[in-house]
Amino acid sequence: MSGWLFIMLLSVILFLILVLAVRMPAVQQADDEWVRSLDPIRSAPMIAFFAKLTDFGASRVLIPIVAICTAFLLFKKRYSSSIILPAAYLAERTLNDILKNWIMRNRPPFPHLVAESGYSFPSGHAMNAVSVYGLLILLIVPLIRSGRLKMFWTALCLAMILLIGFSRPFLRVHYFSDILAGYCAGAAVVAACALVQLIIHLPGERGRIR
């Protein structure tokens, strides 16, 4: 339990550091330069690929994924997990809106390669990706018997987190610091869910996530 508590607290601290950092002109300048630095690889095929992939961090794709995985957890009689997954997603979306309206950072002042609106910090797609795909590792992996399939599922979810995060500055709709903040906030959500699971199953199943 102490490990998940440490991850949650560390994520919150790093997020707050980023909140302060993005107010600094030097950080803003570096953010602008990092977005521009991707121009050499912004070819038409790459833009088309990341424009499609980024949707896997959007609600219109994640809601069906969450619904299917929740049904799977119910089928496996993992009742607490089947509640935590959709509840965490709804809570995370609400939290992202609150944080964006608190910080009110504008999006990069470059031509966006996909349609986006609203504030920029923290990235909703990055926060979505860590929260949902992170929980899919936490809740689904223990139900997979094959060691290779466990590795594949974990690698797939981690790849989605990283690629979705990279897609946002690539498409010029977020700064890299927005992505890091989204990752931190999402990690705090996953750690909080892990703590809830452990508390539910104490003391008899302390080490088991269900």
Write out the catalytic residue numbers.
125, 174
Mean pLDDT along residues 7-12:
95
Helix 59-75 / helix 79-103 crossing angle, nearest 10 deg: 160
Place of tokens 């991707």: 38
Residue 204's pLDDT band, with cuts at 50, 70 and 90, is: low
Residue 199 clears pLDDT 90, i.e. is over it: no
Burial of 132 (0-12, 13-18, 19+ CB in 10 A): buried
Q: pTM, whole model, 2 decimals? A: 0.90
> For the purposes of burial, counting CB atoms within 10 Å of the CB of 108, is it exposed (0-12), middle (13-18) or buried (19 or more)?
buried
What's the confidence (pLDDT) of residue 165? Answer: 96
pLDDT value at residue 203: 58
CB 69 within 8 A of CB 134: no
- Domain ranges (residues) in the chain: 2-35+43-200
> If you average pLDDT over every residue of the chain, what do you get?
92
List the one residue out of 17, 193, 21, 169 whose CA is nearest residue 107.
Answer: 169
pLDDT of residue 206: 46
Residue 64 C-beta-side C-alpha neighbours within 13 Å: 5
Average of pLDDT values for 144-172?
A: 95
Local confidence band at 107 (pLDDT 50, 70, 90 cut-offs) = very high
Count H helices and E strands in the chain, helices first: 8, 0
For residue 126, name the pLDDT band (cuts at 50, 70, 90). Answer: very high
**What percent of the chain shows pLDDT beyond 90?**
86
Identify the pLDDT of residue 86. 96
Mean pLDDT for 122-143 is: 95
Neighbouring CB atoms inside 10 A of 165's CB total 26
Cα dihedral 150, 153, 156, 161 in deg (nearest 10): -100
Model confidence at 205: pLDDT above 70: no
Confidence of residue 210 (pLDDT cuts 50, 70, 90): very low
Tokens of 62: 């994640």
Average pLDDT for 113-118 = 89
